Structure 1
Amino acid sequence: MHFARRLGLAFLFALASIASLAASAAANPLLLVDIDTLEVLEAQEAGQPWHPASLTKLMTAFVAFEQISLGNVSLDTPVTLSKAAVALPPSKSGLPADSAVSMQDALYILLVKSANDMAVAIADTVGGSEAGFVALMNDAARRMGLSATHFSNPHGLHDPSQVTSARDLAVLSLYILQNYPQYAPIFGTEEVTIGKRVYESQNALLTKFAGTTGMKTGYVCSSGLNIVATVERGGRRLLAVVLGASSGRERNERAAELVLRGISGARTGQNLIALPNQAGAPVDMRPMICGAQAKAYVAAQEAAFPMGLEGQPSYLTDTVAARSYAASDLGRIRTGVPLPRPRPEHMPVTIVPTGQPGAVAEAELRPGLSATVTAAGIPFPRPRPNF
């Protein structure tokens, strides 16, 4: 009798623990934004500080795009992998030290494969060093008004001081889409080949959710599984952010569900720029993703959100042709030999911050309305981008 009672109490305790974990999971950040109006269609803990994992590479790409536009590097500039870059843990390209690819190919491998070694190689090439490049990343974050964001490295491998929020990731992503639409195909590419090597994206929406145009996934134990996804459906362009998922299934299904709710009419009336960030330390998901609580946490997540599980319905049922890109190995290039760098054909432009330090005027984050200057400081009008 006493044994049965103890067993019953243990069972109830386990249920309570799973319920507690599920409740905490329900607070994970979710955000859906209308790309064209900046209206927040749905938000949940969007200002909560969070570890970005490989979503860091969105800023790595932005800084590279910006430096290309300024003429400091070009898409043809060789990007060489150092021994330090090659020594990083996966995900990585697998290319040996001193291997080189063009900047364009490096950006594809960075964003499709989420290669950590390529992130450092780009940082060394663009910033002169990893530390110099990280300084450029944090300067860009300041100019964008990303008040919850700080970068410590260009790849997203865990660092306690590397932090952002769903709100800031959405703003960063929209700056990329607005100011550098010519690079949109990279974010929508599912596969990159280089010789016999094949690098595949972890963004399942690209091939299973019609209308998906990009952008990036990320994962470390302390962040859980993250995604920023952009979708065009029914004349609408939407951007979804999901942070802290327990699995790739949950991450992708939740992003698709957010988009479908937005198309169905979900809205808050808020503007993304006005959405506040929260103070405090970032959430550490390690105990629930990689620690002792992981098994119970995943079970709770599956019970609370079963979409995509075996025998359950799924939002990811479309068949979409995968976009592929072929990169080229330039071979092994020793560093220290100066190489010519051709200037880009277009006029270099850069964003100018307005208002107080770190503040961004709402009008700056809309296609065709950004305040820009040439490298010489002379205002230069740009036509509205053709998305």
Structure 2
Amino acid sequence: MAFVRRLLVALMLVLAGLVPAWATPLLLADRATLDVLYAEDAGLPWHPASLTKLMTAYVAFEEIAAGNVTLDTPVTISRKAFNLAPSKSGLPVDSAITLKDALYILIVKSANDVAMAIAETVGGNEANFVAKMNDVARRMGLTGTHYTNPHGLHDPAQVTTARDLAILALYIEQSFPQYMPMFSTSVVNLGKAKLESNNGLLKSFAGANGMKTGYVCASGLNIVATVDRNGRRLLAVVLGGSSGRERNERAADLFLKGLSGQLRPNGQTLLTLGNAVGAAPTDMRSLICGKDAATYVKAQEAAFPMGLKDQPSFLTDQVAERAYTAVDLGRIRTGIALPRPRPPHVPQFSMPTVADNVTPAPDATLRPGIPVSAGVMIPYPMPRPSFRP
């Protein structure tokens, strides 16, 4: 009966003219061949939210490869970075971590403050870094993508598509395979804090090894996920989920259908998929965070109940936690001159030559201002008497 009620709610929403339960972008592709196995609204403009950080990471990888920074370069949390809205690392202003640790926290925790700190470190400032992001998007042929910030907090002009996100993910894996373990990590330990990933597949879907989740009200809950299983290498993109449950379960559903052969190549590749260039991005705010949110979530649950209480789930595997430990380097302030090293000691007086069994005469120059005659004993000062009240 509960399932029937959910279906009735979904039907009422459709009849009322609200967004249909299935109208969010979905994409499944074979990473080995680039074949598209399933695509629904894959070229529809969408707000990327924290999926933006895939490009933030890629730009950092390029700058490391160019020799402009290294994995050991200190990344400092500026006041501007600290003041950003969550998700955040918990690091205070002026604290520093290595770029390697920053990238792990960026990808796993999706920390906005760390995204800004990386941008300021690698690009000199946010604007320069964003220019690099858009240059990479142009070089990759991401015709439906434009960036205005490195973290993904909502900006109406920050936009992408499921197709572009899939291509970006493939470029990361192809160009910088050495960094892929970052995307399969499910938790980062930072001091006493345990920074966990929102990618539920990493903990409960065998073969899952990446990549990133994202959420703002305007986008709904997004995910780019990768799986290696039974010799297959698949990639899924789900945008606009009404909950983390729905987003993760939909991605797992796509993977299982692709692995079983239920979804097969449709004659397109990721590179031949088109983008709806010039179209306005979908704005999910009223459905995710606004007055229609409760009704919309019920409709989504009715249409896709997997993972709800008393319902089956695709996420049932026991996957060992993959953890990484980051180190807080402490506070680093710039613009402060370090103390100059102490100059080496140069003796000002030559050592006297001492003959055997001869007591040398005192050297008057060793006690400037005190006349000393040869053979005269100089008494030490008497000790100070104890004070008695």
Q: Could you state the TM-score of these two structures normalised by the residue count of structure 1?
A: 0.82
How do 1:126-141 and structure 2 match up within 5 A? 126-141=122-137
How do 1:8-19 and structure 2 match up within 5 A? 16-17=12-13
Mapped to 1, the partners of 2:267 and 2:259 lie a distance apart of 15
How do 1:329-348 and structure 2 match up within 5 A? 329-336=328-335
Equivalent residue for 1:273? 271
| Distance verdict in 2 for CA 1:70–1:298, change over 3 Å | same
Residue pair 1:29, 1:45 contacting (<8 A) in 2 also: yes
Secondary structure of the 1:271 match is: coil
Mapped to 2, the partners of 1:111 and 1:303 lie a distance apart of 32
Mapped to 2, the partners of 1:282 and 1:335 lie a distance apart of 41
Mapped to 2, the partners of 1:15 and 1:121 lie a distance apart of 47
Deviation at residue 26 of structure 1 after TM alignment: 1.1
Mapped to 2, the partners of 1:244 and 1:298 lie a distance apart of 11
Residue-pair matches, total: 328
Residue pair 2:28, 2:254 contacting (<8 A) in 1 also: yes
Residue pair 1:22, 1:300 contacting (<8 A) in 2 also: no
Gaps of 5+ in 1: 1-11, 340-387
Deviation at residue 20 of structure 1 after TM alignment: 5.3
Secondary structure of the 2:20 match is: helix
Equivalent residue for 2:139? 143
Equivalent residue for 2:290? 291
AA aligned opposite 1:40: V
| Distance verdict in 2 for CA 1:150–1:338, change over 3 Å | farther
| Distance verdict in 2 for CA 1:262–1:125, change over 3 Å | same
Secondary structure of the 1:118 match is: helix
Mapped to 2, the partners of 1:208 and 1:309 lie a distance apart of 15
Q: CA-to-partner distance for each residue in 1:76-131, whole Å, 9 max, x for gaps?
A: 00000000100011000111000000000000010000000000000000000001
AA aligned opposite 1:270: Q
| Distance verdict in 2 for CA 1:338–1:69, change over 3 Å | farther
Mapped to 2, the partners of 1:187 and 1:338 lie a distance apart of 39
Deviation at residue 69 of structure 1 after TM alignment: 0.3
Residue pair 2:306, 2:312 contacting (<8 A) in 1 also: yes
Residue pair 2:9, 2:298 contacting (<8 A) in 1 also: no
Q: Which has the larger radius of gyration?
A: 2
Deviation at residue 44 of structure 1 after TM alignment: 0.3
Deviation at residue 198 of structure 1 after TM alignment: 1.1
Residue in structure 2 matching 1:233, options 218, 229, 234: 229
Equivalent residue for 2:306? 307
Q: CA-to-partner distance for each residue in 1:278-327, whole Å, 9 max, x for gaps?
A: 13000000000000000000000000000000000000000000100000
Equivalent residue for 1:36? 32
Secondary structure of the 1:135 match is: helix
* 2:81 counterpart of 1:85: yes
| Distance verdict in 2 for CA 1:144–1:257, change over 3 Å | same
AA aligned opposite 1:311: D
Deviating 4+ runs (over 3 angstroms): 12-15, 18-23, 336-339
Q: CA-to-partner distance for each residue in 1:6-45, whole Å, 9 max, x for gaps?
A: xxxxxx9995335557763312100011001000010000
Equivalent residue for 1:188? 184
Secondary structure of the 2:234 match is: strand
CA RMSD in angstroms, aligned pairs only: 1.7
Deviation at residue 338 of structure 1 after TM alignment: 9.9
AA aligned opposite 1:175: Y
| Distance verdict in 2 for CA 1:56–1:15, change over 3 Å | same
Instruction: Tell me the percent identity.
Output: 68
AA aligned opposite 1:292: K
| Distance verdict in 2 for CA 1:332–1:27, change over 3 Å | same
Equivalent residue for 1:220? 216
